[in-house]
Amino acid sequence: MKPSRRSLVRAVVVGLVLASLLGMAGRRVVKDRCGKCFSHRIMTQWRWGPTDAWSIALNPVRVRIEPSVALTGLFPASHAHEWVPLPKYCVSGFLCMYETYPDFRAFIGGKLARGEVTVEELQALLPERAGVPLLDPIVMEYFEGRGEAPPATMASTAPSP
């Protein structure tokens, strides 16, 4: 039995429609950070549809929180997060150093133990401040104490959002 031309065209059209519908399924990922302690929140969900506004959720939103080093070292366990969109740059030289370098965290721990600085003063260095030099005075003190120059990438100012 030979398929008619009409049924062949119909099969091709149905195949193209099904292929485009299957292509509309996708994973939606939203990344935020806490405006105070800089922990990260990553929300993922599989959705089906052409856009977020015109789509159907295929599963519940999965939320994963990645605590920052600042959260564990400078904030109490009862800290309430304030989620804001994740910036594409490091907004504080102090935060970058604290999150990245264990030696810098030990330096800060020593200053806290000696009473040279308070947790509140350190927390004041964390909020996003566009246009402020990334070399906070406390970061400069760390590099001067080590007899090193700060990285060239920290010599600029934080870009405006």
Which residues constitute the domain of residue 41? 25-86
pLDDT tens sequence across 77-121: 788 888 877 665 555 677 777 777 788 888 888 888 888 888 777
Q: Are residues 154 and 98 in the same domain?
A: yes
Q: Are residues 95 and 153 in the same domain?
A: yes
pTM: 0.53
Q: Is 138 exposed, middle or buried (0-12, 13-18, 19+ CB in 10 A)?
A: buried
Report which of residues 67 and 146 the model is more confident about.
67
Q: Are residues 82 and 95 in the same domain?
A: no
Amino acid 161: pLDDT: 43
Q: Are residues 112 and 125 in the same domain?
A: yes
Residue 15 domain flag = no
Asked whether residue 73 carries a pLDDT value surpassing 80, the answer given is no
Q: Which of 33, 52, 86 is the last residue of a domain?
A: 86
Q: Which of 59, 86, 113 is the last residue of a domain?
A: 86
CA nearest 138: which of 151, 121, 152, 114?
121
Q: Are residues 137 and 69 in the same domain?
A: no
Q: Are residues 93 and 161 in the same domain?
A: yes
Amino acid 87: pLDDT: 62
Q: Are residues 80 and 101 in the same domain?
A: no
